Chains A and B, each alone.
Chain A
Amino acid sequence: MAGCPAAVTGLGLYTPAGLGVAECWAGVGAGLPTARRDPALAGLPVDFSCRVRVEPSEVLGGRAARRMDRFVQLAVVAAREAVADAGLNRATWDPARIAVVLGCADGGPGTVEAQHRVLLEETAARVSALLLPMQLANMSAGTVSIDLGITGPSLVAATACASGATAIGLARDLLTLDRCDVVLAGGSEAMITPLVMAGFAQMGALSRRADDPQTASRPFDAARDGFVAAEGAAVLVLERPADARARGARVHALVGGFGASADAHHLTAPDPDGRGCEQAVRSALADAGISPGDVDHINAHGTSTVLNDLVEAQMIDRVFGDRPVVTSTKGVTGHMFGAAGAAEAAFCVLALEHQLVPPTANLTDLDARIGIQVATRPVEGRLQVAVSNSFGFGGQNAVLVVTSA
């Protein structure tokens, strides 16, 4: 059974590039990098990151935000924007027919680390009763349901750095199966904490370009040396196209295909032959009923690690050749982990709406082994079909096909 296309009727973005869709697209479209020194990481092997610029607790107000971990706060802000953008009316909607499916890699490590310190330095009797309700990974979707009073299926998908894309794919499946009429689909992540960053540094996954953080995230560049950690959230409102038309909603674009796969190769390293990610791409294209030659634009996973970018570029070359204009918006945003796939799907939607491929920030010298067409400046053109790649630790891959409305 093929999935029906899902209409994207609302967008919400809260990323290092800005608060809200307009600010985020302005930064991403212009290719303005956001990495900078991070005081919270002082003294650690890597002390820079891409943070959101406005504190989510300030956006929400202290009282509402107090019992939410940061990844939940980010999700709630993005979900509110997406619902408003979709023009959904809380007075008339049927809350039982609205679902929430969000991606998240790690839940709330900031809360865990703070309370673990209390346990070690004080006593168990001082540990907060809010530890679990704040840090459990499902709490982004749970809290969005509470915040908006919606009662349909509510869950979090975890495929590490592919979580946001997986969530959108699963959300479309829920619509196809008629489990609901509307889904708030996306992802959020706030895992820039000392412990997490120490772990990433030990893996050798992070860029060490400490003398110039702004240029550290440089996907596909010959001098790339790792990713830059980021935080953020993205939420898309999805509906069946007929329902969207019936209520007169504006349709930004369609999610036409989804493909998921597992490398079954290694805990963290991509299969060097790129077979797993190729399988996900081909399955997404088949699901959308399109051929590789129809694809105009690819928002690559493009993390800026040595291995990912090479394996991914070779896979893109094999499947698509050099026709599609490829970009990695992680040059601007850094790597938002479980939010990345959702934000990048939203950037595909915006690229189709604006007929503009955003540039890959900091790409000045394309790796000589890479033969695909990667945008180094904003590229205008006729764009009808976009593909968004997301690959997670564990070898879990999720690919979305986005088409013009």
Chain B
Amino acid sequence: MYEQLKEMIERKFQVPLADIEPTATLEDLGLDSLDVVELALIIEKETGVRVTDDELVEAADLGSLANLVMSRIAPV
């Protein structure tokens, strides 16, 4: 899921792949509140998982965001 998320961010927001690390926050990647809403839309569209923009903002980093999406695709 992390790799898929990374690809989405690169494609949608033109963030260089080299800058996208599991420990990066959305803020580190230069995404503001408008971008976060866009990211939530694209995650839902491409994975079927609904995450709110608040959940995206609260996620500590990309790694934990990927885990959140994964947990909803395959609930334990």
| Chain A positions near chain B (C-beta within 8 angstroms) | 62-63, 66-67, 125-126, 128-130, 133
Contact = CB atoms under 8 A, between A and B. Distances in A.
Given A67-B34, A133-B34, A126 B41 contact: yes
Interface string B16-57: 000000000000000001100110010011000000000000
A130 B14 contact: no
B34 to A, nearest CB: 5
B33 to A, nearest CB: 8
A29 B47 CA distance: 54
A62 B10 CA distance: 11
Contacts of B13: 63, 66
Contacts of A63: 13-15
Nearest to A63: B14
Contacts of B34: 67, 129-130, 133
B45 A129 contact: no
A128 to B, nearest CB: 6
B45 A130 contact: no
A380 to B, nearest CB: 48
Contacts of B14: 62-63, 66
**Nearest 8 CB-CB pairings of A with B:** A129-B37, A63-B14, A62-B14, A129-B34, A130-B34, A126-B41, A129-B38, A66-B14
Contacts of B44: 126
B53 to A, nearest CB: 8
Given A63-B14, A66-B13, A126 B38 contact: no
Nearest to B36: A129
Interface of B: 13-15, 33-34, 37-38, 41, 44-45
B32 to A, nearest CB: 9
Contacts of A125: 41
A130 B35 CA distance: 8
Contact of B45 (A66, A67, A126): A126
8 contacts: A62-B14, A63-B14, A63-B15, A66-B14, A125-B41, A126-B45, A129-B38, A130-B38
Nearest to A118: B41
A63 B44 CA distance: 22
A125 B37 CA distance: 10
A67 B35 CA distance: 9
B35 to A, nearest CB: 8
Contact of A128 (B15, B33, B41): B41
Nearest to A64: B14
Contacts of A128: 37-38, 41
A126 B46 CA distance: 12
Contacts of A62: 14
A128 B40 CA distance: 10
A133 B37 CA distance: 13
A63 B38 CA distance: 14
A130 B41 CA distance: 12
Contacts of A129: 33-34, 37-38
Nearest to A134: B34
Contacts of A133: 34
Nearest to A128: B38
Nearest to A126: B41
A62 B14 CA distance: 7
Contacts of B37: 128-129
B69 to A, nearest CB: 17
Nearest to A65: B14
A72 B59 CA distance: 33
A146 to B, nearest CB: 13
A67 B44 CA distance: 20
B66 to A, nearest CB: 22
Nearest to B30: A63
A333 to B, nearest CB: 31
A289 B63 CA distance: 69
Contacts of A67: 34
A189 to B, nearest CB: 24
Nearest to A133: B34
A67 B30 CA distance: 13
Nearest to A67: B34
Nearest to A122: B45
A62 B16 CA distance: 11
A66 to B, nearest CB: 6
B67 to A, nearest CB: 24
A66 B13 CA distance: 8
A130 B33 CA distance: 10
Nearest to A127: B41
